[in-house]
Amino acid sequence: MTHHDPDCLFCKIAAGQIPSKKVYEDEQVFAFHDISPWAPVHFLLIPKQHIPSMAAVTPEHAGLLGHMLTLAPKLAAQEGCNPYPEGGFRLVINTGEEGGQEIHHLHLHVVGGPRPWKKG
C-alpha cells in the first residue's frame, strides 16, 4: 500500500495539487467540500495515506478510522449541521463499484443540514 498515488484525484487534492474548498487538515487527514453536494452540508473526509477503499482496510488502520469518525461530528457542527438529537448528519462510505464508489481512495461523506422534504 503506497502512501500516495500520483494518479489519484484525492491524493492530488490532499497534496494541494488540485484546488479544493478545505474544511480541515492535519497530518493524517484532509477534509474538503464536495463539488456536487447532496445537502446544505456535504464534505469529504479522506486519509492522506492512499487507501483504495474500505475493502483494503486492515487492523493497522484502526487508529486512522477512529480519528476520522471522532472528527466527523466536530466538523459537521463547524460546517453548519444542527446539534443532535434534533439536528444531525449522515456518514457514508461507498465501497467498490457495486457500492457506488467513484473515486478509489477511501473517503467518508459527511452530509447534513435541514432536509427540505421533511415537514413540520
- With a CB cutoff of 8 Å and minimum separation 6, the contacts of 108 are 44, 45, 46, 68, 69, 72, 91, 92, 93
Would residue 107 show up in a list of annotated catalytic residues for this protein? yes
Calculate the dihedral angle through the C-alpha atoms of 119, 34, 50, 28, rounding to the nearest 10 degrees.
-80
Q: Could you say which of 42, 105, 107, 109 is catalytic? A: 107
CA atoms within 13 Å, Cβ hemisphere of 97: 0
The pairing of strands 41-47 and 108-112 is antiparallel
Count of CB atoms situated within 10 Å of the CB of 61: 17
Residues catalogued as catalytic: 107
